[in-house]
Amino acid sequence: MQARILVVEDEPAIADTIVYALATEGFVPHWSANAQAAIEAASAPSLSGPFALAILDVGLPDQNGFDLFRRLQQVDPALPAIFLTARTSEIDRVVGLELGADDYVAKPFSPRELIARVRSVLRRIKRSQAQNVAPAAKPGAQTLFAIDDERKQIRFRGRSLDLSRYEYRLLKVLAERPGRVYSRDELMNLVWDDPAASFDRTVDAHIKQLRAKLRSVDATLDPIQTHRGLGYSLRDDH
């Protein structure tokens, strides 16, 4: 099935260019000119399934792209996003990535460059999904992680890990999207029952325990990466 792409951009000329480029490359673009229309489009059931990816302009008339992304994640937590930023300041970039955006493109950009980013994000996600589906059935496979959601167990290199509830949830979030950088706040919100009551250091402490447990299975791999000032991800280069 062709991938549906949500395009949220208030400038018609830019939106036209993006929509045309996506359609030419075989994607099915849906254009929303503001945040509200985007939320409605993402919430509406479609016969073609959910959006495969969202392209979000940061400067929208009714809400900035970052806030829109947070709202879209409430509708579809797995929706990947590429931000379009008009100001190329580092702040935009860092904020975008801290939110868990999958990529960004600074304006002005060439349609070809944007399409390349779209393809690369979709490829990455497909690969991480494929890694999650196959492994449990094949113990001893080369896959690093196998998640058994029913038993709340994760196998690492074929060995079952002895994880606490929060360690399990934390590793599951990371392992489901290898390469995706999660900020501490995001992990807190995704994993902990009562994020407000937890401390910032909670995430770090659990990451530390997870690393120790992974090391006890294989001391040569350190699959959890620290991104200074940004957060954590699981390596996707194995």
Question: Cβ(76)–Cβ(46) under 8 Å?
Answer: no
Give the residue at shortest CB distance from Ca ion: 59
Tokens of 81: 């996003």
- For residue 66, state whether it binds Ca ion (rule: CB under 5 A): no
How many residues form the binding site for Ca ion (CB under 5 A)?
Answer: 3
- For residue 59, state whether it binds Ca ion (rule: CB under 5 A): yes
If the CB atoms of residues 14 and 42 are measured against Ca ion, the closer one turns out to be 14
Closest distance between Ca ion and the C-beta of residue 103, in Å? Answer: 18
- For residue 111, state whether it binds Ca ion (rule: CB under 5 A): no
> Could you say which residues in the range 8-27 bind Ca ion, by CB under 5 A?
10
- For residue 57, state whether it binds Ca ion (rule: CB under 5 A): yes
If the CB atoms of residues 84 and 161 are measured against Ca ion, the closer one turns out to be 84
* Binding segment toward Ca ion, per CB under 5 A, in 53-61, 184-192, 200-208, 221-229: 53-61
CA distance 100 to 107: 20
* Binding segment toward Ca ion, per CB under 5 A, in 5-13, 141-149, 211-219, 224-232: 5-13
- Helix and strand numbers (H, E) in the chain are 8, 10
Full DSSP string of 142-197 = S-SEEEETTTTEEEETTEEP---HHHHHHHHHHHHSTT--B-HHHHHHHH-S-GGG
Question: Cβ(30)–Cβ(4) under 8 Å?
Answer: yes
Closest distance between Ca ion and the C-beta of residue 83, in Å? Answer: 11
- For residue 92, state whether it binds Ca ion (rule: CB under 5 A): no
Tokens of 11: 């400038």
Instruction: Find, among 143, 198, 139, 142, the residue nearest to 169 by Cα.
Output: 198
* Binding segment toward Ca ion, per CB under 5 A, in 54-62, 98-106, 148-156, 171-179: 54-62
Tokens of 72: 């879209």
| Binding footprint of Ca ion on the chain (CB under 5 A) | 10, 57, 59
